[in-house]
Structure 1
Amino acid sequence: MRQLLALPTGLATGLVVLAASACSAPTPPRSDVPPVTPAGPATLPAPTGPHPVGTTALHLTDTSRPDPWDPDLDARRLKVTLWYPTERRDGQRAPYMTAKESELLLKGSGITGAPYDVLSKTRTNAVEDADPAGRGLPLVVLSPGFTKPVSTLTSLAEDLASRGYVVAGIDHTHESHATTLSDGRVAECLACDGDTDPGFGPRVVQGRAADVSFVLDWLTSRWKRSGLIDGGRVAMAGQSIGGAAAVAAMVKDSRVRAGIDMDGTAYARIPKSGFARPFMFIGAPQHVPGGRDTSWDRDWKLLTGWKRWLVLSGTEHHSFTDLPLLAGALGIRPAPRALSAARSAELTRTYVAAFLDQHLKSRRQPLLEGPSSRYPEVTFCPARCGSP
């Protein structure tokens, strides 16, 4: 199972496995692509909202079900990273990931041109363990692509928190190359051994939907700061198979009022009777109607409420994550004619925030009503899209 079968040369050389949704052997480097010297630690773009951002990590255990990937574990352990508004502007910035997580992610992805601890040196914007500010804030759940930790969505998470959202990013244990558990041990990707099995995609998204429901239960009823969250204003966004999991979570749990799929093949099946909650597809040109991935064509017909289908020219599968922002630190050459990393991040942040502001804060967003001269890369489908 793979979300993207081919990437442009250059960036694909190092990020092909990061950009794909499954574990497989990395593509050998092309001999005609010269190596790039790593540029040193990356710095994530500053959040655009008015609030400083805090972050903290929670380690949760769901004793009601076994781990779906490790038959020896009778409980599901999850790491949840929260980003939220704070009043604190100074303090220690949170690490992007640990040195061990960075090492396992690079090794698992076949990236050998940079020091293995390089991603642990990425500079973030959120203050570690700062006290949250506010009450009754809308909640956004984030789910990453397969094999990737939720830290690869940090720039989006920080931006949403600066705009007044609480963001809960879930590391789905054993579906990533590295997840650090509460006792310091690092869980690796056990699910990678079965990614070619029939039915693997639906199995993953159903498991993630169960993870989301448990996290919502915990945050809204058991967390000591549950008053920070308005349980009636919850949305979910995900990249790659995390986007497919947003559909599965919405079908399973009515508390998820709105959802976004960022360039993910849709594995969860929407009821034939239709689905009326707000939903947005946003993705790369492979997702035009009649393109290589037809799952959006199928689901578009079943979405009966507010919906948008946006295709961004110059983007690729990983453009909706931090990975282009990290390419220089990893010694990866950008793909020809691709949007810059800064522009990809700007477009992703802008359209995701507009969707959430409209559906969780009841603020009408003209940006979502049609093409914008400020963002000419964005095409509204299916009316203005053609086949590739």
Structure 2
Amino acid sequence: MTLAALATGTGAGFAATAGPSAAPVAAPVATHAFDTAPAAAAAPARTFQGALPAPTGPYAAGEDVIHLTDTSRPDPWVPSSGPRQLAVTMVYPAVPGTGTPAPYMSLGEATGIVQRQNLPASSGITPQTIAGVTTHAFDGARPQPGKYPLVVLSPAYEDPRVTLTALATDLASHGYVVALVGDTYEDSGETLADGQTTPCAICGDPSRIDSIPTNRARDVSFLIDQLTHGNTAWRLAHLIDKHEIGMAGHSIGGAAASAAMVADPRVRAGVNMDGAFKPVPTPGQINRPFLMLGSPDNHPAGGGDTTWGQAWDALGGYKKWLTVAGADHFSFSDLDLLHEQAGFPAPPLSPARGVEITREYVTAFFDRTLKGIDGPLLDGPSPDNPEVVFQR
């Protein structure tokens, strides 16, 4: 991950920069903002104090971290480690004023970021300040009664699951159960059930890129099985409406959302946020709703990333293709916002605005496709959101 770039990342064909969009098959390695910003700007003099925006819905956001083991298969990246293990953050509609503030991540995960990047103490970015980012989620909060659609979120390559926390808490506040899936051995660290934090086994290895979406699709199917069969994997699994499941992903996580929909018909709606499609779905594979939400450099209609046009033609259900003027690759996650708070330059689109637009359009899409709420936001351009361009 990065905290707006706390870890080296690569779009490697998954649209992290304009380079991958121009040549999605053989893309150069792209870096997260914190990888380059310290060399281009003086280190912040103040201590880094990160804070994500508060949720906008009527509910609070409760949070639990669960650990799952898929005994049916070895870990795809480190088979010697044994069966595939996952750390998953469950975020759910909660009663305001209950629970205790949840950390952004474990101290071990935050330490992994600092060690991987060799961040200087003068930056103010320490394991403690990263872990202490204000999330507006509450551990052990009392759940709201009822059943809610499940939305699975998948982060960018080399980014821990927490980089989609702002989106997760907002979805929960609007009546969704959200599963943030940690991709073991794919990022700077996920703390597993034994308390150990895994290192990254495949970071910077472009030969592994094309295998990631398919492996994440397997993780998602396993997760859905665990959450919808027997209610034993998570204490609040009864909150989930197992007939209404969606998935959204950022960068390579967007490719994973497409792959999961191809592999598992239980995933009824998908969102790709600024990621190339690898593999590109073929006609007939996805006849369910899909939203493509991207940056203007990487993903306009007719742009350099030809996988978006190919996917658009193949998608058979309700679909929308939007870009956001001024956005960069990390406008759709927590990263630009935290990067700005650490004192480094921001993209043309305000990072806070990037988070706001992402939340509004992803929520509106799932409201329409999983809840049957047909709001006007996805019908066409809005004067309240002039940055959002309807490509198709």
Q: Same fold (TM over 0.5)?
A: yes
Distance in 2 of aligned mates of 1:174 and 1:223: 27
1:10 aligns with none
How does the TM-score come out when normalised to structure 2? Answer: 0.87
1:210 Cα shift? 0.2
Partner of 1:367: 377
| Aligned-residue CA RMSD (Å) | 2.0
Whole-Å separation in 1 of the counterparts to 2:245 and 2:308: 23
2:72 matched residue in structure 1: 64
Aligned match of 1:385: none
Could you say which residue in structure 2 is the equivalent of 1:151?
A: 162
**Alpha-carbon offset, residue 53 of structure 1:** 1.4
Equivalent position amino acid for 1:221 in 2:
H
Note if 1:333 corresponds to 2:345.
Answer: yes
Q: Measure the CA separation in 2 of the matches of 1:109 and 1:223.
A: 39
Instruction: Tell me what 2:266 maps to.
Output: 255
Offset of residue 97 of structure 1: 1.1
TM-score by length of 1: 0.88
2:77 counterpart of 1:92: no
Select 2:387's aligned residue among 373, 377, 380: 377
Task: Give the 3 Å change call, closer, same or farther, for CA 358–87 of structure 1 in structure 2.
Answer: same
Other-structure match for 1:355: 365
Are the structure 2 counterparts of residues 55 and 306 from structure 1 closer, same or farther at C-alpha, using a change threshold of 3 Å? Answer: same
Indicate the residue corresponding to 2:22 in structure 1.
none
For 1:6 and 1:103, the matched residues in 2 are separated by 30
Match of residue 185 from structure 2: 174
- State the distance in 2 between where 1:261 and 1:143 align: 10
Once the two structures are TM-superposed, the CA of residue 43 in structure 1 deviates from its matched residue by 1.4
Q: Distance in 1 between matches of 2:36 and 2:258?
A: 31
- Give me the whole-angstrom Cα distance separating, in 1, the residues matched to 2:149 and 2:249: 17
Q: CA deviation at 1:103?
A: 2.8
Q: What is the aligned-residue identity percentage?
A: 43
Moved more, 339-348 or 265-274: 265-274
Q: Given that residues 42 and 328 in structure 1 are in contact (C-alpha distance below 8 angstroms), is that contact kept between their aligned partners in structure 2? A: no
Partner residue, 2:27: none
Partner residue in 2 for 1:312: 324
Following superposition, the deviation at residue 89 of structure 1 comes to 1.4
User: Is the Cα–Cα contact under 8 Å of residues 38 and 328 in structure 1 kept in the other structure?
Assistant: no
Q: Which residue of 2 aligns with 1:140?
A: 151
Aligned residues between the structures = 363
Measured in 2, the distance between the counterparts of 1:319 and 1:278 equals: 23
Contact 1:60–1:77 at 8 Å: present in 2 too?
yes
Structure 1: which 5+ runs fail to align? Answer: 8-15, 21-25, 383-388
Q: 1:65 Cα shift? A: 0.5
Shift in Å at residue 36 of structure 1? 3.6
* 1:39 CA displacement: 5.3
2:202 to 168, 176, 191: 191
CA-to-aligned-CA distance 1:67-96 (integer Å, 9 cap, x gap): 001120331000010000112414420000
Q: Is the 8 A contact 1:259 1:279 kept in 2?
A: yes
Which residue is 2:133 aligned to?
A: 122
Residue 131 of structure 1 deviates from its aligned partner by 3.0
1:81 aligns with 2:95: no
Query: Does the residue aligned with 1:58 lie in a helix, a strand or coil?
Result: strand
Q: 1:290-309, aligned counterparts within 5 Å?
A: 290-309=302-321
| Structure 2: runs of 5+ lacking an equivalent | 1-11, 20-29
Listed one character per residue, the Cα deviations across residues 190-222 of structure 1 (whole Å, up to 9, x for unaligned) are 1225x221xx33310000000000000000113
Letter in 1 for 2:277: A
